[in-house]
Structure 1
């Protein structure tokens, strides 16, 4: 008998359960909106790099905010479980009125800058759950300004302040000593502390709304409905897995690592994923992934990064929202999935190996899982994704620090029936871009160019997504640091589609000299007048390019995505004087096909 067959009968009638689920989701969405509106930084307000969720008293996720990123809301159960473990180990009690801060990257957090604030929810004297917000903070007191782009930390202690289940509010009373430590050790303290206080208020709102929901329906009904929803989500996932052919599916991709490092153990690092399907469950085995880099922060915490990358990818492919609609986003979805990662590899580092730059490797891991699944469900995956990059920019103005984090989009590969999406964040990193107006109104930076790359469209029956070309001019002396991937390894093409395009970064000095930059750059000073030119990656093509509809290729030319030479070279499409030469195209394609 399978696990799905042993799930108990429904405890609550389906209509009531659906209404309660809607109430839970509405609470999480309200938490997210309130957090965005109260935040000081653009990374939360504009890019929506935050999480908001409710859990039960043991840390099982009940719901999450749909606007938040998977890499923020997904780790929240791990945050809560570790908070419970740490407080129990200390002999500490969680009480009404507490607010607990946590950012331990080896204790559920994705990395140190993603700080959680957990508000325990009590009904009378009984702990019934947690209301939690997470958010990326633009400085956490690390060795250089900005909480991303720190690519040279030698261990977790160099990555910034670590808070392991610290009560910033104890039974309703602010722990002022903790807040003083924060302000004394964080650059741009007003912005960062302001964002943290916004998180606390949003979490308190979630706790109040959860109690109101419990008051309306009663705790037994709410919790029984939650158990039913867990079982429902689990059944959906198990049914989707059961539809896969049993077997093992393996894929390998690579990350740049540190391409300019003479030590081969720090560059050209493989990520390997083997998916073993057996009945209604599957195992994702990461054996073969490169060993951890013990003194560089590109390692990925197993809990908080690796698990979220795996779960998000499998859920997105097997339970595509376009087909399944809204599905209760809870812990039930992860029950049928086991993750195996050898201790001491990139995907399961050993403390205190640094992890703050885990963002791009984790996204590449998600891409590798998708490549493995392409062997089982080729019609449900995209070709390789173009990975993202993060640039941290910082400086001093009248003795005050300013910090900005710019997430530079990647691109999706093509998929069956659809071209790849251009210039978007990918997989577990679905943050939004910062509007140019917001950037230029807050920091001394001018965006001189923001456009799709020209004539860089990866070929396929369904083409790969196109990355951006951005040019930033610094209006004042500043510092930059860069965290990225994809300067050497192009996104994979699928089923005859072409590989995507790699990314590139160039620093142009005010005197006109140019310097090509690697995908990772430690803190580097720039001068007023210097420019950073960033070319984003392009996703892989899907399917034989000679099968692409010729009219669509003409449209690509008319849209100035490619030129006529590329149309002929990559797609076998002949275009003369802005019009499609159908006879010439058919002859050219027949010639290439050997017909």
Structure 2
């Protein structure tokens, strides 16, 4: 620790920086126009040093937060720090610079104090439409980035405090929902302004030199802490393979192969043997892949380490260009955020599970389960775009069942309330519940997914579903069973039923229904070691049926009362033949 800054001061300043980032997030959410940000909170905020190193971020979306450091660094290559002016605001969404997908628009603003550049504020917001083939800009039928929407390489939407109206017109005219886009851009400006104001107050209170020293010492502290955690992991190379269920154009399985090499106080994550990049839109940029590695290592080794540039330094990511985890331009990438990122994370966690069993988690639902309805609303005379990511089952861990119907790993958004959906769009939510199929059986049970059933009240509505885990179900750990599979269904107004693949873009009409049931989480340890009383409670809550209880847990329940038949349960468990 620097002689200038003691541990107590670092803790105080850490909370000061973190609070600024959190307040930025509140401003963005409270002032946004689209339901995707103001209700679902599909956004993230952070503050940086003047040379683009992450200092603090709000507790928002892990994928966004892992991407933002590289984005800010790349923008500073385009706009040199000495070229920035007070009042500037820079937009960027190009996945081959930002690492994300086109609907995620980053905004970066410089912070000046006494005429000197001292920091940067930044946020990312998922806009509900940026053009492209279909509403929502995430069609599963795209084969190149040019089909996915408007690409911003890094442009100043505000120059020295003056808004560029030409840029705003360009943006809004290339979106089906230009009004919402404009409102959300101003919300992003408001968020960065809050960060700028609070940082200026901090620099004024403590001096520029001292505050910058605290920023650097906080990053160094995070690095030391994560390196110390890595040293506790035995040196070695740990491997795992998992699969994506097609790219939206084909149903062919796509392999994610990972090798996690632990050497002293560093971790190298490599992807040798991973499938080549796909024709469809599930290709990940190296930015997304790196964000997954940062998240997985931190989550397993030290979840409480302050998330900043220092926490990323001990993690190295190696991925061959032209693979599905490091796509080469102009590959389509829009659906990597919701699916490939989750599978990369699954693979890294799976690789480290045997060596870190007490921290390990069975596979979660493995997808953000994207759902998008878009079209023309005859009642309002305007285009609409409804975006949702539906939670699934969380994987079980040692000592705890997985949570039900929750977002996991690389996403952390809320749901859109049913009332908001029906008030805002020509849609009827017919059903919203936990899925009827249970989570992975185990001593600790995986969580169950969600079922959403939505009826269109308009013709010519385009629906895009981006899900996973219909065939390659979420895996269990140490004898725990797989989580339940996902299911996607289209029912026409006349009653014709079609089972859909996990990734689909289709047109529906008034009275048509779309149903998505998301995957459950994997179980942890042998199901026959689960407490019978917990099995009975699962049955009472509808997570397991009496016949399943006997077959999978060796617990015999009397169907009429759900009481445990102790004698038959003991016999069944002794025989060990119920679960095969």
* TM class by smaller structure: over 0.9
Given that residues 44 and 125 in structure 2 are in contact (C-alpha distance below 8 angstroms), is that contact kept between their aligned partners in structure 1?
yes
Alignment equivalent of 2:439, drawn from 457, 467, 475: 457
Name the CA distance, whole Å, in 2 between partners of 1:411 and 1:450.
Answer: 15
> Aligned in 2, Cα 1:593/1:185: closer, same or farther, shift over 3 Å?
closer
2:293 aligned with 1:310: yes
Aligned to 2:494: 511
Name the CA distance, whole Å, in 1 between partners of 2:3 and 2:62.
Answer: 29
Name the CA distance, whole Å, in 2 between partners of 1:161 and 1:578.
Answer: 57
Given that residues 471 and 532 in structure 1 are in contact (C-alpha distance below 8 angstroms), is that contact kept between their aligned partners in structure 2?
yes
Given that residues 137 and 147 in structure 1 are in contact (C-alpha distance below 8 angstroms), is that contact kept between their aligned partners in structure 2?
no
Give 1:221 deviation, angstroms: 1.1
> Aligned in 2, Cα 1:572/1:19: closer, same or farther, shift over 3 Å?
same
Name the CA distance, whole Å, in 1 between partners of 2:536 and 2:10.
Answer: 51
Name the CA distance, whole Å, in 2 between partners of 1:275 and 1:444.
Answer: 48
Alignment equivalent of 1:397, drawn from 377, 389, 396: 377
Aligned to 1:229: 218
> Aligned in 2, Cα 1:259/1:301: closer, same or farther, shift over 3 Å?
closer
Give 1:259 deviation, angstroms: 6.8
Give 1:135 deviation, angstroms: 0.4
Aligned to 1:255: 244
2:133 aligned with 1:140: no
Alignment equivalent of 1:269, drawn from 238, 254, 265: 254
Name the CA distance, whole Å, in 1 between partners of 2:494 and 2:370.
Answer: 26
Alignment equivalent of 2:116, drawn from 106, 121, 126: 126
Aligned to 1:80: 72
2:9 aligned with 1:20: no
Aligned to 1:365: 344
Given that residues 48 and 69 in structure 1 are in contact (C-alpha distance below 8 angstroms), is that contact kept between their aligned partners in structure 2?
no
Name the CA distance, whole Å, in 1 between partners of 2:464 and 2:361.
Answer: 31
Given that residues 109 and 115 in structure 1 are in contact (C-alpha distance below 8 angstroms), is that contact kept between their aligned partners in structure 2?
no
Name the CA distance, whole Å, in 1 between partners of 2:45 and 2:241.
Answer: 33
2:474 aligned with 1:491: yes
Aligned to 1:197: 186
Alignment equivalent of 2:36, drawn from 43, 54, 57: 43
Name the CA distance, whole Å, in 2 between partners of 1:10 and 1:492.
Answer: 49
Given that residues 250 and 275 in structure 1 are in contact (C-alpha distance below 8 angstroms), is that contact kept between their aligned partners in structure 2?
yes
Aligned to 1:381: 360
Report the number of matched residues: 571
Aligned to 1:70: 62
2:564 aligned with 1:580: yes
Aligned to 1:115: 105
Name the CA distance, whole Å, in 2 between partners of 1:176 and 1:335.
Answer: 40
Aligned to 2:232: 243
Aligned to 2:25: 32
User: Given the two structures, how large is their TM-score scaled by the length of structure 1?
Assistant: 0.93
Alignment equivalent of 1:156, drawn from 123, 145, 149: 145
Given that residues 458 and 538 in structure 1 are in contact (C-alpha distance below 8 angstroms), is that contact kept between their aligned partners in structure 2?
yes
Give 1:383 deviation, angstroms: 0.8
> Aligned in 2, Cα 1:10/1:484: closer, same or farther, shift over 3 Å?
farther
Given that residues 88 and 161 in structure 2 are in contact (C-alpha distance below 8 angstroms), is that contact kept between their aligned partners in structure 1?
yes
Deviations 1:403-441 (Å, cap 9, x if unpaired)? Answer: 110111122111111111111111011111111111111
Alignment equivalent of 2:272, drawn from 257, 278, 287: 287
Give 1:220 deviation, angstroms: 1.2
Which runs of 5 or more residues in structure 2 are unaligned?
A: none
Given that residues 101 and 167 in structure 1 are in contact (C-alpha distance below 8 angstroms), is that contact kept between their aligned partners in structure 2?
yes
Name the CA distance, whole Å, in 1 between partners of 2:462 and 2:317.
Answer: 39
Deviations 1:569-594 (Å, cap 9, x if unpaired)? Answer: 00000112421122221211111179
> Aligned in 2, Cα 1:445/1:498: closer, same or farther, shift over 3 Å?
same
User: What does 1:341-490 correspond to in 2, within 5 Å?
Assistant: 341-359=319-337, 360-386=339-365, 387-398=367-378, 399-477=381-459, 478-490=461-473
Aligned to 1:332: 310
SS of the aligned residue for 1:271 comes to: strand
Mean alpha-carbon deviation: is it higher for 470-479 or for 192-201? 470-479
RMSD across aligned C-alpha pairs, in angstroms? 1.6
SS of the aligned residue for 2:576 comes to: helix
Give 1:281 deviation, angstroms: 0.9
Name the CA distance, whole Å, in 2 between partners of 1:143 and 1:487.
Answer: 26
Give 1:81 deviation, angstroms: 0.8
Deviations 1:426-480 (Å, cap 9, x if unpaired)? Answer: 1011111111111111111111111122243321111111011221111122221
Given that residues 86 and 164 in structure 1 are in contact (C-alpha distance below 8 angstroms), is that contact kept between their aligned partners in structure 2?
no
Name the CA distance, whole Å, in 1 between partners of 2:417 and 2:187.
Answer: 22
Mean alpha-carbon deviation: is it higher for 331-340 or for 572-581? 572-581
| Over 4 Å off, 4+ runs | none
Give 1:500 deviation, angstroms: 1.3
Name the CA distance, whole Å, in 2 between partners of 1:350 and 1:525.
Answer: 31
